[in-house]
A and B are shown apart, each in its own frame.
Chain A
Amino acid sequence: MSTLLHNTVDRLDRPSAYYVGKNKRRKYSQDEPEKVEEPVDNLKNATTLYVGNLSFYTTEEQIHELFSKCGEIKRLVMGLDRYNKTPCGFCFVEYYTHQDALDCLKYVGGTKLDERIIRTDLDPGFEEGRQYGRGKSGGQVRDEYREEYDPGRGGYGRAYAEDQQRREEEDYGAGR
């Protein structure tokens, strides 16, 4: 394990730019910015990972098979569509130790599961309610407006697809 103050190459076991950015935005929108916890602080002992870009069809067993290569899994929470209660392409994996979670970021994040490159991010911990998609139609926000067709994640983004359909109907008349 490297003991240097600075590493000569980047570390892959840091919170993502997304996580840091999300917390930063919150920080500036509040009146008392100094009260907000440093994002890295509440991840100091994090044992949970957010896992993204899963296929809707990827099962718990598949996730378990891959992620247990980094250590015993304490809990696995599948991300579900808020309305249908079907998998919507993300999950939380909780390990027993912080080190296992870090190792997972380093060794599994950015590799393939079910033939998709998955994303892992350190997470302060699962809370009830977070297993549901936050998008308007129940899934993840990214699946609302996606303009690319992704067969593993329900085709086009839902809002985008609806939009397309409306446009088509306007152009060619409804019922076609």
Chain B
Amino acid sequence: MADYDRRPHGPRGGRKRRYREDDDYDRRQRRRYEEPLIVKVRRQLLTIAESAARRAEDDAISIARSVAENYGDEEFRNSFVDIAIDLVLEQPLKIPFIAATVLVANFQKSELVSDVLNRSSESLQKYVDVGAWREVKLLLRFLGCLQSIFEGDGIFPVLEELFARAVDLQTASSEDLLGLELVKIILFTIPYVMASPATGFESHATALLEKTDIIASTPHALVDLVNPFGPETGKPTATQSFISLVQTQLQNESSRSWELSCLPRPWKGAREALEADEAREEEGEPKSVEDGPKHPFPQITVPSPVKNGTRAIFPEVYLSVYANQDIETVPPTSDIASSLMRDVLVDTINILDFNRIATAKFLIDVDCYFTTNTFVKRATPFDRLRDLPGDRSQWKPEDVAVDAVFSQLFQLPSPEHKLVYYHSVLTECCKIAPAAIAPSLGRAIRFLYRGLETIDLDLSHRFLDWFSHHLSNFGFTWKWSEWVDDLELPLVHPRMAFITGALDKEIRLSFAQRIRGTLPDPYQDLITEGKEKDTPDFKYQSDTTPYAAEGRETMQLVRKKASNEEIQPVIDAIEEQAKSMGVEDPLLSSTDAFVTAICFVGSKSLSHVLSCIERNKERLLAIGPKSSQARRQIITSVMEYWVDQPGIGINIIDKLLNYTILTPLSVIEWALVDKLEAGTVLAKSHVFEMISATVGKVTNRLRQIVAARTQQGLYEPQLSVLDETLNREKVDMQALFKVIEDSIVSVAGGSNDELMERGDGSGNLPEDEIIRQWGQRWLRVFRRKAGVEESFITDAMATATPVGTIAPAPETVTSEIAPADGEMDVAEVEAGADFS
């Protein structure tokens, strides 16, 4: 297990297969070797509750005993304390079991528990100070599970203090989100306290809940922004936030005397076993295990105001891909189990991103960490659930696990890790337990597919991307036959857009012929001949194309790496000819020939086209400044050449942006002004991809500038230089979002001229409504993006060193190092330099 028992030579340490005989010999030798107790206890602790075959209670007792008996051994003692806290922070599913071990230890060696509490409070204080709220939540949960060993009110005063901070924040601003995060911590601590052996805290919990209600239940303005399903047209929405849901669930639970039936209570079994042991040993009255000594609750100072850590906070919404099934395979939102499981699984997933296989294992084993019979047996088929007796749980552990991953994959505005991490977790789950997971994924896919018309557009693309990537890991097998009927739908229908988009992405990860082979007959037409061509035709090869001869000549010149000067005469020839034919902007014609030639010559691979671009950079760079129309012609030429494999086209556009041959604005204008085609372009998934990537490039750059501008210890004149760059680029970004807004808003509102001119001009064609909806969905995505970036900049700049701050004079520096006598340099304070 990880670093804890990394021996210089593991069981197979350093030996290669050819030494097999030696290896066998070694192994026989090792069998006689007895593992030191400390190694055994570490392993027991690290793997506590992992196996359904072992009783976690027994392990808890055995661990506590061993550590208590070896309390004098510093290494033994410390490694227990370290691992216990590390597990709390890294494997939250195990918190109740670690706590049970500590409760048993308190009975046997309460000094050990003091050590654990000291270490917890050091750690907790550190995380409170930096605003790492997830870690705070987990440590508080751990302490909450230990409530019975604390003097007085135990954990409640610190929860009250967190609440007071939340109130301060909420009073200061109605837009506050940090306060909500604090309330969330409180709400997710209470159930663990109530499921602990501590008794008599019902009124504390209820009183606290009454207070949190006003904050948790007040709708936040941003909740609609993160709703995975956009508001339906014309209907006012009231999306419930995650914490308001938890608040309601907890209130219900308090009226049911805190049943909290899903939460494990390993302390109960441990207590019973211990009492039995005691009774046997002392042959007397069974002694209550509660009788361990009490400890003061660790001193924690909550700064005022509290600060937030590195991750921006947004409201959360509870999403389940198994909602509305005729059988409840996951806890309903009326049951607190839904939130408790979701919370701890999401933390597990996000904390363990450094080992997706471990994450997947936890997800598959989810039933080990909740009360027995919370779930049906693993891998019970969906159809079999109907046959279960009525009072039995129908919750499928796989569904609960998969649901948690999807909740992150579909987290708005963005999840904690890269999307591909969540892909990889689902892949691993499928690898570990294909029979259990694959059918669950199937039902999730069907749910999402059915929701394609209303799901947030960003999420619909995440779905597309995950779906194709997932299939690429499993031989591209999917039951396409069940969507055959949808092939009748118009091309702009979201389902058709999904099917064509998914097939395109599959092809990108594989190749057309391979994908064709995985598809039933009705889909064959979707894989056009053009998609199977490695090298698309060069249009100037046909004499019917205008400037055919010159186009071919250009191509030959590009192919033989001719110099800019050598190419010029052909370009001139095309422009002459264009002029004579009355073409308004001859540069467009020559640009088309030139860029198409580059695409054709570079069609063999990305590096071929890149070196082609590199060689002709000078001419390409000169086009844009001459005419913005010509700049957009570059995009047209690329995308037309790669019309059947738009993924390659997008890639080239992306590189052209890096070369600054194209500008982000030109890409947006190309797609949303030039090629809007009455809004039908909005149904093309590769166009969304291209626009998102382009916008992403701009916002990433801006974030880098913000990072540079807000770094500490920055003074004039750099401050002003960076500030100027920031402001300039911010204006550019806003302009970019404005263009997107202006072009789409007409489609969404149905006032786009071309859209109105379609068909009979009534705007009532069946497709017109679909197109308007595309417009609304696009708007939502890019308005959100604009808002998120805008507030990121505002938040970051709130603590930045103001322009005009001069580097402190050398004396100031020395005074800073000088013993803190409580006096700060006045000039420094006035300048507002924030060194915290």
Contact = CB atoms under 8 A, between A and B. Distances in A.
A91 B86 CA distance: 38
B602 to A, nearest CB: 11
A13 B90 contact: no
B606 A70 contact: no
Interface string A1-15: 011101111111100
A42 interface: no
B90 A9 contact: yes
Contacts of A59: 605
Contact of B508 (A3, A9, A62): A62
B354 A4 contact: no
A70 B420 contact: yes
Contact of A60 (B87, B421, B511, B607): B607
B421 A103 contact: yes
B418 interface: yes
Interface in B337-384: 351-358
Given A61-B508, A106-B354, A115-B475, A9 B420 contact: no
A34 B141 CA distance: 47
A8 B423 contact: no
B352 A9 contact: yes
A16 interface: no
B2 A8 contact: yes
B419 A69 contact: yes
21 contacts: A6-B3, A7-B2, A7-B354, A8-B87, A12-B357, A60-B606, A61-B651, A62-B510, A69-B418, A69-B420, A70-B420, A71-B418, A76-B606, A78-B607, A103-B417, A103-B421, A107-B418, A112-B472, A112-B473, A113-B472, A114-B509
Interface in B68-117: 82-83, 86-87, 89-91
B469 interface: yes
B648 interface: yes
B509 A8 contact: no
A66 interface: yes
Given A8-B1, A9-B90, A13-B354, 18 more contacts: A2-B351, A6-B4, A7-B2, A7-B3, A8-B91, A9-B358, A10-B1, A12-B354, A59-B605, A60-B606, A66-B469, A66-B509, A69-B418, A69-B419, A103-B421, A108-B420, A112-B473, A115-B472
Nearest to A21: B14
B421 A107 contact: yes
B315 interface: no
Interface string A81-122: 000000000000000000000010011100111110000000
Which of A8, A11, A12, A114 has the most chain B CB within a 10 Å cutoff?
A: A8
Nearest to A12: B355
A170 interface: no
A28 B343 CA distance: 50
A6 B355 contact: no
A65 interface: yes
Interface of A: 2-4, 6-13, 21, 59-62, 64-66, 69-71, 76, 78, 103, 106-108, 111-115
9 A-B pairs with least C-beta separation: A69-B420, A9-B358, A6-B3, A11-B354, A65-B508, A107-B424, A60-B605, A112-B473, A60-B606
Q: Which of B1, B2, B420, B648 has the most CB of A within 10 A?
A: B420
A21 B89 CA distance: 32
A66 B424 CA distance: 12
Contacts of B651: 61, 64
B264 interface: no
Contacts of B648: 61
Nearest to A9: B358
B427 interface: yes
B492 to A, nearest CB: 25
Interface in B457-478: 465, 469, 472-473, 475
Interface in B556-594: none
Contacts of A21: 14
B2 A64 contact: no
A70 B418 contact: yes
B82 A6 contact: yes
Interface string B586-629: 00000000000000000001110000000000000000000000
B647 interface: yes
Interface residues of B, number: 46
A116 to B, nearest CB: 11
B83 A8 contact: yes
A64 B354 contact: no
Given A4-B86, A6-B3, A114 B605 contact: no
Interface string B1-22: 1111000000000100000000
A122 to B, nearest CB: 14
A87 B647 CA distance: 22
Contacts of A69: 418-420, 423, 465, 469
Contact of B509 (A4, A62, A71): A62
A24 to B, nearest CB: 9
A60 B603 CA distance: 12
A107 B509 CA distance: 16
B606 A6 contact: no
B90 A106 contact: no
Contacts of B358: 9-10
A9 B2 contact: yes
Nearest to B126: A3
Interface string B488-514: 000000000000000001001111000
A61 B505 CA distance: 12
B702 interface: no
Q: Report which residue of B3, B357, B419, B423 has the largest number of chain A beta carbons within 10 angstroms of its beta carbon.
A: B3
Contacts of A62: 508-511
B355 A10 contact: yes
A70 B46 CA distance: 31
A2 B132 CA distance: 11
A111 B473 contact: yes
A107 B2 contact: no
B355 A107 contact: no
A76 to B, nearest CB: 7
B8 to A, nearest CB: 12
Contacts of B353: 106
Nearest to A68: B651
A21 B3 CA distance: 18
A169 to B, nearest CB: 28
A77 B811 CA distance: 53
A108 B607 CA distance: 22
Q: Find the residue from B505, B605, B648 having the highest chain A CB count within 10 A.
A: B605
B90 A2 contact: yes
B513 to A, nearest CB: 12
A46 B356 CA distance: 22
Contacts of A12: 354-357
Contacts of B418: 69-71, 103, 107
A8 B509 CA distance: 35
Given A6-B3, A9-B1, A107 B356 contact: yes
A107 B358 CA distance: 12
A6 B86 contact: yes
Contacts of A64: 606, 651
A11 B352 CA distance: 9
Given A9-B1, A13-B354, A61-B648, A115 B510 contact: yes
A20 B465 CA distance: 35
A113 B651 CA distance: 19
Nearest to B509: A65
A103 B353 CA distance: 9
Most A CB within 10 A of own CB, among B82, B606, B607 = B606
B9 to A, nearest CB: 12
Nearest to A104: B420
Contacts of A114: 509-510
A59 B352 CA distance: 32
B641 to A, nearest CB: 14
A12 B353 CA distance: 9
Contact of B90 (A8, A61, A71, A76): A8
Contacts of B475: 115
A108 B423 CA distance: 10
